[in-house]
Amino acid sequence: MTSEASVVPSPPRPPVALDAVAREWLVHLRDVRRLSPATVRAYTQDMADLSHHLGEHRSIDDIDTDDLREWMWAAVQRGDAPATLARRRATVRGLFSWAFERGQVARDPAARLAAPARGRTLPRVATTTAVDQVLAAAAARAAERDPVAVRDHALLEMLYATGVRVSELCSLRVADIDRVRRTARVRGKGDKERVVPFGAPADRALGEYLDSARPVLRARSADPGDRVFLGARGGALTPRAVYRVVSSALAPALGVAHVGPHTLRHTAATHLLDGGADLRAVQELLGHASLGTTQIYTHVSTERLTAAYRQAHPRA
């Protein structure tokens, strides 16, 4: 039998700074898990904020659940959005789970960190009257034959007609457009392809752009590429440029300072459901992986219906 005196205790683990572990984890996310640059940036910002809150060079083994709760509460007090709070929790849970599996911490203090309650924020939606006015004004500007104005009219019509994301619109290539069938082949999230239809007004605006305005813009660049929508200098149109176009056209109609292309996507989905479209058809059109994501538009439609009822019904 081995005597107690012969048992050699394992040496204490040297302290490891939170910053050092966080750097290794972020490299793992970038190079091994290959998360998107935007996601890695967001996690990097969260880790910098945690390090600032806890103090530089804090040992990761000294951090407990109460430390993380105080960090989350600090974000609540400064008014961070629920989605940001949920992401911060996901950040520290991912870090400590990874560090625990590697034996860099003796326990996982983030495992019992409660998720903040997330309130439902309904998307902003334009009325059909507002959309008609915006598109009519864009058509009037396009009638003056300026190639950028013709492009902007086609861009707005296509965003509303198809409900595509701004990244999907910018990546459209000429070969993706089938004007006979009035469809566009779209590459969505995860490089998944889907085919979306568009109506006669969008087809007319797109045809005018492709026939008369795009060749003018294309001639301004030595290497314009084959993207459908081109910038004023002939290169591929960027999402930021699309944001500016949509905001300048739609924001005044909604009475807000800024509004992005996603508002037209929300609006298209809501108007389809208002018109009786099947929820699963709208899901396929928008390229949502989950039907639950699409269902938020049923809440929008219900609230619009309720508001109209209360305003118009004599016994509401």
- Residues annotated as catalytic (active site), given as ranges: 165, 189, 262, 265, 288, 297
Q: Which residue has the tokens 């903040």?
A: 116
- In whole angstroms, give the CA distance from residue 35 to residue 57: 26
Q: In what order do the strands lie in the sheet with 183-187?
A: 177-178, 183-187, 193-197
Of 246, 225, 250, 249, whose CA–CA distance to 235 is shortest?
225
Tally the residues of the chain.
Answer: 316
d(CA 141, CA 245): 13
Where helices occur in the chain by DSSP H, the ranges are 18-31, 37-54, 65-77, 82-101, 128-142, 147-162, 166-170, 200-208, 214-218, 239-254, 261-274, 279-286, 291-294, 296-312
d(CA 234, CA 141): 20
Residue of 186, 133, 146 lying closest to 162 (CA atoms):
186
Question: β-strand 193-197 against 177-178: which pairing, if any?
Answer: unpaired
**Alpha helices, DSSP H only, in 255-295?**
261-274, 279-286, 291-294
What residue spans of 102-227 are helical by DSSP H?
128-142, 147-162, 166-170, 200-208, 214-218
Q: How far is CA 265 from the centre of its chain?
A: 12
